[in-house]
Amino acid sequence: MEEFSKASSLVMFDEACREVGLDPRGMLQRAGLPGDTLTHPDNMISFQRMAMLLDDCARESGHPLFGLELGLRQGTAVFGQLLYLVKNANTVGESLAELARYYHLHSSSGAVQMEVHNRLVILDYTPVLREGIPSRQVIEHGVAVGWQLLKMLLGRHWAPRALYLQTAAGAPARTYARLLNITPDFNSDRNAWVFDAALLEAPLSDADPALHALMQAHIDKLDELAPKELPAFVGQLLRSLLPNGKVSLNYVANYMMLGTRSLQRMLMEEGTSFQALLNETRQAEATRYLKESDISLTQLAGLLGYADLATFSKAFQRWFGMSPRQWREANSKSTGAKKPVRERRRPSWLR
């Protein structure tokens, strides 16, 4: 299964890049992530490419703790809607239990687990990374977000006993101590914060039970839809790639770091196919543009990734039994929308 993460995982990424002299859009493109990633926080992105992105940023900027510092900057903002659930639980323990239970809605790239041993809580974060994908930046990013979450929940009572990291240190230990108020145990068998179990009983004084109940119902509905997220992810990816014409099965599979057969098989298991999703996406985008804009049909064909207007018109005729022009005229009449503005020929002296 492809590993996804909400694009909200990169909130404030542009600020962090500019602070160390990097071009955020350029770094996104270099990692193979859509250029509009930062403006659509609820969209899903490839977690593997996000891991490569953070590694690229650390290397290019000369800031070896780029991922850690980004996570501290972002804090709980990465969780999006899920934050409203966990911050309105009754106690710290209930909050962390809900985070562990629903973390897959934020990211299917790993898991958050909570264990209690000898009156100590072990809050464990385990990302799923494929062979060859660098891990330190994304692991440190995750534990930094965890640090800010626990600080939000516990306030002045947040006093970790230990921090374990599976990776080697990327900077002197004193740098970690300055940022996290603790020196990690590197090269460990897990990535985890450790703190007193008594803190789990701490009440969340600002919790709103009514808001929590509302968010619980909303999150449960999202949870029911979670198994269908692969087709939605591919459809979202196609919408961002259509204007560039990069809508082949090979290109999309490569973006997802999968073989074409693997992607087709995974989509088939969800009751669809790549071609079906491409057709659905093009149909939806075509009717939206025809109804809501006055761009020319030639421009629309390009936006939908077609080589020319004739190819687009043939496909549209097959879908709807009429030409794009006829569909636009029929729907303009039914909705009272303005007729499209004809594209004017440019004067010869401007050509």
Quickly tell me which residue has 């949870």 as its tokens: 223
Q: What is the pLDDT of residues 184-224, one digit of tens each?
A: 999 999 999 999 999 999 999 889 999 999 889 888 877 77
What pLDDT score was predicted for residue 84? Answer: 93
Q: What is the pLDDT of residues 159-169, one digit of tens each?
A: 999 999 999 99
pTM: 0.75
Residue 207 contacts residue 90 (beta carbons within 8 Å): yes
What pLDDT score was predicted for residue 2? Answer: 60
Q: What is the pLDDT of residues 260-280, one digit of tens each?
A: 887 888 888 888 999 999 999
Mean pLDDT in the chain? Answer: 88
Which domains are seen in the chain, by residue range? 4-207 (3.90.1520), 227-335 (1.10.10.60)
Q: What integer is the mean pLDDT of 9-18?
A: 97
Q: Where are the alpha helices (DSSP H) in the chain?
A: 13-19, 24-30, 47-61, 66-74, 82-86, 92-106, 136-154, 173-180, 209-225, 229-241, 249-255, 260-269, 274-292, 297-303, 309-320, 324-335
Band of residue 147 on the pLDDT scale cut at 50, 70, 90: very high
User: Can you say whether residue 144 is alpha, beta or left, with left for phi > 0 and alpha for psi between -120 and 50 degrees?
Assistant: alpha
Q: Name, of 93-97, 259-263, 290-294, the range with top average pLDDT.
A: 93-97
Q: What is the pLDDT of residues 102-146, one digit of tens each?
A: 998 898 888 899 999 999 999 999 998 888 899 999 999 999 999
